[in-house]
Structure 1
Amino acid sequence: MIRQDSLSAQDHIRVAEFVEAVAGIQLPEHKRSLIETRLRKRLKPTGHASLADYLDFALSPAGAATEQPLLIDAITTNKTDFFREPAHFDFLGRLVRDRLAPLQKVGWSRPLSVWSAGCSTGEEPYTLAMVLMELQQGLPGFTFTIEASDIAPSVLETAAKGIYPVANIEPIPMPLRRRYLLRSKKKELELIRMGPELREAVHFFPFNLRLDEYPRTPQYDIVFCRNVMIYFSNEDREMIVRQFHRALRPGGLLFIGHSESVAHQKLGFESVAPTIYRRIEVEGA
């Protein structure tokens, strides 16, 4: 029988140190209750009677290969929404339509390349796909690629399937729902699936923003990394922003969350709108 024990201060420190070392995410004391709730979901699948027993296993060599990725998964999963912070998508639309399109005198030379970093369950990259597909209708020859990453395997699996409760699509304008979404044939399930065009437009892949290797040469025009860096230390945030600078082409844009900020000038960016930054050349960035 599983006891409803609490996460002790000592065990909170153990798991917080592990998660920060592996994922770079900070879990301060005020998040102990949230951590406890999320870890408790791993007790039954692993057959452990208490949180302490579970952590003894998960943080041991025996749990390294199988359970530690699932522990990280449970801790790092974050809620997101379609069309979250809509001003960002309005800005992107104006950028492509009003600034980039007039420059293409002899046609678009290459696709617009977008990276959704920390994409969670996929709402952000699918929103990007809808916005860019709408732009295609009025811009002959305009193409794009969207890559979307997250550290958590379970959210990437959900994202790739593209299936969501009907309630989740409320922020999506009705014309876009009709054009791009599929309703489950079993209406009692109350599920919606992203249409095949949307699913084919987004490539999902696992990526640890703190530990994995970033592109060595610029390859993205746009990076969305919103409401992700708030969980990192100042040192790790600076490292991540420097890596985004390296991954972005000259003049490329970085979009961050409304509650986030970056020391943009020191790190090779200039502010062009609230929480939107343009890559610039800065010595040492």
Structure 2
Amino acid sequence: MTLLVPPSYGDRFRDLIGSLTGISLPASKVQMIDQRLRRRVMAFGLRDTETYLRMLLEDRDMTDELRIVIDLITTNTTSFFREPSHFDFLVDEILPAILRRRGTGLTPRLKLWSAASSEGAEAFTAAMVLAEAQRAGRRFDYAILGTDISYRMLERATAAVYDSDQLATVPAHLLRRYVMTSADPALAGKARMVPELRRRVRFRYLNLMDDAYPVDRDVDVILLRNVLIYFAAEDKDRVIARMVTHLAPGGHLLVGHSESMAVRHPGLRQVRPTIFRKE
């Protein structure tokens, strides 16, 4: 007779996070999970992480706590001008094509979606390069949407306040033009994006595992960079399929440099190693 051993709370927790967020947490991540949840274990005065996970999984009143856990588990690595060739392509290839395609009538409007925006560095990088294109005389309007699963990151992105070391990768002339510092000693070492950019960028909660996204279906550029690497293969395919429905004809999907092989969709044509165009 074979006895079936029920899954541990750790196994059930990893399955739950995978189903809710798409993030794959193999057994090798046990130590990482323990480290990230340690503060919550202590906050509840519990003796170990296993006890905390049992409470999280079995108590129906833990919805708010689960949201905190998702914030702690998700990886929020981000930086300004990360993978800069994408922003060059945006200004040198995508923007001119949109201007040609939409003619000389009304001012064309470019829509860009940063689909895993974290604390906003990617969205504000795009805003800076597009603002520079406007200053160079190109006539267009633009709007940027940043979405993320972490409420904590969305709050930071909306505030648009960054430590000086986070801004180290921003070119000096763009720092002078688009970043404000304060004389308040309490804000020493911090800077904020100028109102001109903050008006162009908005942030909203979105879970890429949801069956539908509350996003326009005529987006010109979707930045889905360095997030698919955390998903299982079948979840990657489903996310990409949903993304395609939000791209305008001729719109572009940009992924991270380690993710190009994950993009397999008949409606997309690869134009650069990490850049795909909707046919």
8 Å CA contact 2:112–2:143 kept in 1: the answer is: yes
Q: 1:108 to 1:134 in 2, by over 3 A?
A: farther
Q: Distance in 2 between matches of 1:231 and 1:264?
A: 14
- How many residue pairs match? The answer is 272
In structure 2, which of residues 93, 96, 102 is the aligned counterpart of residue 95 of structure 1?
A: 93
Task: Determine the structure 2 residue equivalent to 1:66.
Answer: 64
Task: Determine the structure 2 residue equivalent to 1:164.
Answer: 162
Answer yes or no: is 1:274 the counterpart of 2:273: yes
- After TM superposition, the structure 1 = structure 2 runs for residues 122-201 of structure 1, keeping only pairs within 5 Å, are 122-186=120-184, 189-201=188-200
Tell me whether 43-52 or 12-21 shows the greater mean CA deviation.
Answer: 43-52
Structure 2: state its 5+ residue gaps: 1-6
Task: Determine the structure 2 residue equivalent to 1:228.
Answer: 227
Q: Cα offset for 1:184? A: 3.2
Answer yes or no: is 1:211 the counterpart of 2:210: yes
Task: Determine the structure 1 residue equivalent to 2:3.
Answer: none
Tell me whether 197-206 or 10-19 shows the greater mean CA deviation.
Answer: 10-19
Q: 1:136 to 1:108 in 2, by over 3 A?
A: farther
Q: 1:122 to 1:46 in 2, by over 3 A?
A: farther
8 Å CA contact 2:111–2:221 kept in 1: the answer is: yes
Q: 1:63 to 1:184 in 2, by over 3 A?
A: farther
Q: Distance in 1 between matches of 2:230 and 2:237?
A: 13
Q: Cα offset for 1:76? A: 0.8
Task: Determine the structure 1 residue equivalent to 2:18.
Answer: 20
Percent of aligned pairs with the same amino acid = 37
Tell me whether 129-138 or 212-221 shows the greater mean CA deviation.
Answer: 212-221
8 Å CA contact 1:121–1:155 kept in 2: the answer is: yes
Deviations 1:255-283 (A, max 9, x none): 00111024656441111112000012xxx
Q: 1:255 to 1:37 in 2, by over 3 A?
A: same
Amino acid at match of 1:278: R
TM-score when normalising by structure 1: 0.88
8 Å CA contact 1:242–1:267 kept in 2: the answer is: no
Name the SS of the counterpart of 2:145 in structure 1: strand
In structure 2, which of residues 30, 33, 44 is the aligned counterpart of residue 32 of structure 1?
A: 30
Q: Distance in 2 between matches of 1:224 and 1:184?
A: 31
Amino acid at match of 1:52: E
Q: 1:178 to 1:112 in 2, by over 3 A?
A: same
TM-score when normalising by structure 2: 0.90
Q: 1:129 to 1:32 in 2, by over 3 A?
A: same
8 Å CA contact 2:240–2:265 kept in 1: the answer is: no
Q: Distance in 2 between matches of 1:158 and 1:47?
A: 29
Q: Cα offset for 1:64? A: 3.2
